[in-house]
Amino acid sequence: MTTTLFPSWMLVMYSIIWTLIAALMLVSLWRLFVKMGQPGWKGIVPFYNLWTAIKVLKKPVRWFWIVVGAYLLCRILSLVMLVGAVTLIEESSSGAILSVLVFSLLCLVAAIVWLVYWILLMRAWARSFGHGDGFTVGLVLLPVVFLPILAFGDSAFTEP
């Protein structure tokens, strides 16, 4: 008899819940971009939605490159750290330890840069819909709740 960590019905429920959350986020982004006077499809295309939001919110174009660059740099450094960790396990060399530490620090810096600009962008988004800093905190920490509130609520978009 084989034992599993999770029963199959739990995995099915987990998949259904995450699919519903993803659908809610996509519909919310579509609706938000329509409220901002843009075609809805621009809201669901990765990276292009960020580009469009930055342009509509009248933020400098360099914000796009900083956010995307920091995000991609962190992802690449994570892969490098994974290789370094495997090397560290196999060889236990001081060079591998140093490289993992350096790449971890660089990834931390990239993540902080990304987070700062993401918070600033969410702040601009919340303000353009007439909300304050408390709503910005909600957009950053609970986007699955606050994006639908913006999308389906009475908030109207105003040009920055």
Residue 86 is assigned to a structural domain of this protein: yes
The whole-number pLDDT of residue 89 equals 65
Residue 158 is assigned to a structural domain of this protein: no
**Domain count of the chain?**
1
Q: How far apart are CA 138 and CA 119, in angstroms?
A: 11
The whole-number pLDDT of residue 11 equals 83
Q: pLDDT tens digits, residue range 35-87?
A: 999 999 999 999 999 999 999 999 999 999 999 999 898 888 888 777 766 66
Residue 63 is assigned to a structural domain of this protein: yes
Residue 37 is assigned to a structural domain of this protein: yes
Residue 3 is assigned to a structural domain of this protein: no
* Triad 112, 113, 114: Cα angle to 5°: 90
Torsion sign over Cα 143, 144, 147, 149: negative
Lowest mean pLDDT among 84-93, 119-128, 142-151: 84-93
The whole-number pLDDT of residue 44 equals 93
Residue 66 backbone phi and psi in degrees, to 5: -70, -45
SS3 92: coil
- Host domain of residue 12: 8-152
Residue 53 is assigned to a structural domain of this protein: yes
Residue 2 is assigned to a structural domain of this protein: no
The model scores a pTM over 0.85: no
Residue 159 is assigned to a structural domain of this protein: no
Query: How large a percentage of the chain has pLDDT more than 90?
Result: 61
**CA dist 137 → 119, 124, 126, 149 (Å):** 8, 12, 10, 14
Lowest mean pLDDT among 1-5, 31-35, 89-93, 144-148: 1-5
